Structure 1
Amino acid sequence: MKKIFKTVIYILLVLIIGALAFFFWAKSPNLDSSEYAKITKFNGNESSKAVEDSVLSVITYNIGYLSGMTNNTSVRPAEEFYTNNLKSIISGLKKHPVDVLAIQEIDFGGKRSYYVNQFEEMGEQLGYYNGCRSINWDKKYVPFPYFPPSVHFGKMLSGQAMMTNFEITDYERVVLSRVQSHPYYYAAMYLDRLVERVKIKVGDQEVMVFNAHTEAFDQDTRTKQMFFLKDWFLKTAETMPVILLGDFNSDPSYENAAILEMYNDERIGAMCSKENLLGEKTLTYPTDKPIEQLDFVFYSSRHFELLDWKVLYDLGEVSDHYPVLANLKLKKSEE
């Protein structure tokens, strides 16, 4: 009996040690943190934007790593699915050429999207001059969705990116506040929520663009992040034109919706007025039947005039989000 008991204990110890070893290996990064922020000049592409043109066209797009409505579900689409969605998104975006393309949830060679660097593929084929990318999820193995194991994300390398025909003169990857209530094992596998701070040169004028992706599941953390972004936006707007765009994961109908913080200061302009929020042509999520408005473009009203904007419903279901396009005109200097 004692021998059986010792054998059981031994087996349990081996399983526990094995599980711990797997956990610490799985949560370890693929890259050194010094590689998490990078500026790229796309091969053979040149800046095609006339510096005297004062109109900036921008798109914000959570592409959901091109997984369509399978995003975060226990479905593992075939490689052909992602290949076709990559072709589709490139074809769709070519119909809406813009000066600044800001992307959230883009993969840089992870298993879930068959090891394709979507940033490099899109930047090259869309003909952008340069771009920057920030990694916010770098793990050796992510066991999500939890079951069955065949649909696990596995090697994870994902984040945010921006592509532009203007020269990028300064760039910073900034990690937003984390959810404090997550248990250790969950937090160890969770992504960082980021904002990319990108300074571009428009003629002799510098413009700051913030590409944000705020917390999706914890409202208190999301609100904290929104206050931080608003404060940073307003401080930066004291010295230069500012654009803040991205997926804010905050529908205006939510109780104490964090996104509404951007609507209570006249120094901040929005592509959609407060009165028109949640209108028929403003909803961005999900793409099979839009019911929420999660994606926004904001700008410093002192520096920009909004010409027009729209949700690009013609991009279809390559993501679970629709992109938002806005045309902004730089005002003449007040000096």
Structure 2
Amino acid sequence: MVKRILIKLAIWLPVTALIFAAAFIVVMRSTEWMPDEVEYQSVAGMTPDVIQKDTLKIVSWNIGYAGLGSDMDFFYDGGTKTRTSRERTIKNLKDITAFLKQHRDADFILLQEVDFNSKRSYHINEYDSLRAALPEFLGWWGINYQSQYVPIPLSDPIGRVKSGVVILSRHIPVNVLRLQYPSRVSFPQRMFDLKRCLLAASFAIGNDKILYINNTHNSAYDNGGMRAVEFAFLKNYLSDKPLSVTAGDWNSNPPGYKASQRELQDKHFSVISLSSNDFPQGFRVLADTTVKSVRYGYEPYNAQTTTRSAIDFALLGGDVEPVSVETVDLGFENSDHNPVLLTVKLSR
């Protein structure tokens, strides 16, 4: 009798598991977020500004959804965790906000990994929180990670996630576009993975000229092939836009940066090196690599042992001159990235 029961269990348990897995895939496929190649973000009812000044200040920062502070390791990077405590998330967001308020004289703030409704950040709408703290800024976003349920790791699944890139601006744009990068993983992984984008805002500067402010967050956990596709797309898009600033988290080293063997040989996160050939002719990179902008997440941050790299910087069109750049060393206390402060001058 016991033997028959065990045989039946041996047959039906795998069958039940397969049925459950198939049903899960069907449900997730039916709710999969599939963004359009081009999405217009609303500027309805607003009259575009004409930016008169030539020198502009920009802040760029991957805030790590206020969940990747110095206390965290992360399972994608070889750690074990998917989120920190709610109290630490709130503290991180408070400190991130305080830093941005200190630099509220910026014309533009470009943020990556801002959560709107995610389990990993306790369903805090971080965008609303930041906008409330910086009322003098208008805001637009481009979602790049949205899933009803990310089932990994099995021990503590990421669960629901909605996150993206944000542009906060003191100036009213002509338009704001979410441009889908042509890089996606295959089905069924794509249902649970990021769908990367470029958030592109255009601003009038007089004499029928347009300034483009672009926020990018490129692929990370690939062999470089997805990033190559994204950079080819970006090169083509920017080719006729000499009045442009593209900043963010490139997940790649800027041209001329000499990565260490530790940076290059990490088995979970691998940087790639960009060259001037990856950008349109006449464009130049504005980067401060004297301070590392990202730390690897295989362990809680340790200044002596944690691998760090430089992957956060800006790309300037030929009609934009570099004035200054600073990667601010915050010790990765509230994010796994350090913020970058940029000053540029327009050549009209």
TM-score interval (norm. to shorter): 0.7 to 0.9
- Equivalent-residue separation in structure 1 for 2:39 and 2:336 (angstroms): 26
Unaligned stretches of 5+ residues in structure 2? 265-270
Q: Specify which structure has the higher proportion of helix.
A: 1
Contact 1:39 1:130 in 2 (8 A): no
User: Any conservation in 2 of the 1:25–1:140 contact (CA below 8 Å)?
Assistant: no
The equivalent residue for 1:215 is: 219
Instruction: Give yes or no for contact 2:295–2:332 (8 Å, CA) kept in 1.
Output: no
Q: Classify the secondary structure of the residue corresponding to 1:319.
A: coil
Count of paired positions: 311
Displacement after TM superposition at 1:91 (Å):
0.6
Output the aligned Cα RMSD. Answer: 3.1
CA pair 195-220 structure 1, distance change in 2 beyond 3 A? same
| CA shift in 2, pair 1:306/1:223, >3 Å | same
Matched position secondary structure for 1:313: coil
Q: Work out whether 1:286 is the aligned partner of 2:295.
A: yes
| TM-score normalised over the length of structure 1 | 0.81
Q: Name 1:44's counterpart in structure 2.
A: none
Helix, strand or coil at the partner of 2:183: coil
Runs of 5+ unmatched residues, structure 1 = 42-46
Match status 1:60 vs 2:77: no
Post-superposition offset of 1:63: 1.0
Q: 1:161 deviation in Å?
A: 1.1
Distance (Å, rounded) in 1 between the aligned partners of 2:200 and 2:86: 33
Partner residue in 1 for 2:102: 95
Residue of structure 1 aligned with 2:237, choices 232, 244, 255: 232
Identity of matched residues, %: 24
The question of 1:79 aligning with 2:95 is answered no
Q: Describe the SS at the equivalent of 2:275.
A: helix
Per-residue deviation, 1:221: 1.8
1:19 is aligned to 21
3-state DSSP of counterpart to 1:141: strand
1:174 to 179, 191, 201: 179
1:319 aligned to 2:319?
no
Deviations 1:150-171 (A, max 9, x none): xx22111111111101102212
**Change over 3 Å in CA distance of 1:203–1:94 after alignment to 2:** farther
For each residue in 1:61-96, what CA deviation from the matched residue of structure 2 results, as whole angstroms up to 9, or x when unmatched?
A: 111101124263333322111111111011111112
Distance 2:241 2:280 in 1: 15
**Would the alpha carbon gap of residues 96 and 203 (structure 1) be closer, same or farther in structure 2, given more than 3 Å must change?**
farther
Per-residue displacement from partner, 1:87-109 (whole Å, max 9, x unpaired)? 10111111122111111111111
Q: What whole-Å deviation, never above 9, does each CA across 1:192-244 have from its counterpart, x for those lacking one?
A: 1111121123466521122111111221221221122122112233xxx1111
* 1:277-329 residue CA offsets vs partner (Å, 9 max, x unmatched): 74x33x2111844631101111112x222111101224742110111111111
Q: Aligned letter for 1:13?
A: V
Residue 271 to residue 93, structure 1, CA distance change in 2 (3 Å):
same
Matched position secondary structure for 1:236: coil
Matched, 1:198 2:215: no
